[in-house]
Amino acid sequence: MTIILYQDKFLPREQGQVDMEDRGYQFGDGIYEAIRVYGGKMFLLDLHMKRLERSARELRLKLPYSLEHLTDNLNQLIRQNQINEGLVYFQITRGAAHRQHLFPDHIESVLTGSAVSLPREETLRPNGIKVSLVDDIRWLRCDIKTLNLLGNVLARQEAHEKGSEEAILHRGATVTEGSSCNVFIVQNGQLVTHPADHFILNGITRLHVIDLAGKLNIPVEERTFSTDELYHADEVFITSTGAEVKPVVQIDERVIASGKPGSITQKLMNAFDEEVARIKAAALY
């Protein structure tokens, strides 16, 4: 039986119900995180929790539990659902109140969470993926991980209908990020990715790949780059919690470089694989 987290309680899936006047439902007034699970353990947990705190602060939304308590509950959720390789998703809304735009007084935040199995996609990676360029029409605070995701949804749908696995978004000539990932290009042995400002969500995998690159002596430049630089990059890859590091070999009808995943992308994937292997080995003891 699937178990979900509702506030502080573990409930059967079908009891995961929220009020119709929850502000998450009427305004998208809430935040969320999705955390990778390897060997039954949450990966890069501290970075996710730090980002959660920041999102809450930016929206002045009260976290209903301490991070320690929340972590304990998420770990229990993973165990109860027997998740080994998977994804924990949870969201926190400002809570339920009679509909008005203003933040209501005396409102209690609402937490809902789930844990699902999600195998790693190693088998997909050897060939890389096709993506589509889509206009970035989202709001100007993409740095906050909110539930206002319709711009992301529409972009992903558009890319899907063009036969692509993901949308890469651009504002004018500037590439920002994907519908649910960050975008890196490789130029002359160097990684380039959009800076973590208000135009992108600062992905935890993005941060981790920048860290891994440092350890591998691969230089990283955080600066905006253009759609033209994207098309002419030596390599392109995307990063996300679910997809980890995934090579991009085609953008709409344009093939990137040789049309195969590049060597620097491969190095990063290998480093990532080794890390996950270590975590899984450690989890066996």
Interaction between residue 157 and a second copy (CB under 8 A): yes
Taking the C-alpha atoms of residue 201 and residue 116, their distance in angstroms, rounded to an integer, is 23
The only residue of 8, 9, 12, 21 in contact with a second copy, by rule CB under 8 A: 21
CA 38 to mean position of chain CA atoms? 16
- Binding letters toward a second copy, positions 217-256, x by CB under 8 A: ----------------------------------------
- Binding letters toward a second copy, positions 71-110, x by CB under 8 A: ------------------x-x-x----xx-xxx-------
At 283, phi and psi to the nearest 5?
-70, -20
Interaction between residue 25 and a second copy (CB under 8 A): yes
Listed ranges 26-34, 44-52, 65-73, 267-275: which one lies at the site for a second copy (CB under 8 A) = 26-34
Q: Go through 47-80 and write b for each residue having 16 or more CB atoms within 10 A of its CB, e for each that does not.
A: bbbebbeebbeebebebbeeeeebbebbbebbee
Q: How far are the Cα atoms of 94, 226, 255 from residue 63, in angstroms, in the given order?
A: 9, 38, 45
Strands 41-42 and 30-38: antiparallel
| Residue 280 is a catalytic residue | no
Residue ranges that bind a second copy, judged by CB under 8 A: 4, 6, 16-22, 24-29, 32, 59, 89, 91, 93, 98-99, 101-103, 112, 114, 116, 137-141, 146-154, 156-157, 160, 179-180
Q: What residues are labeled active site?
A: 145
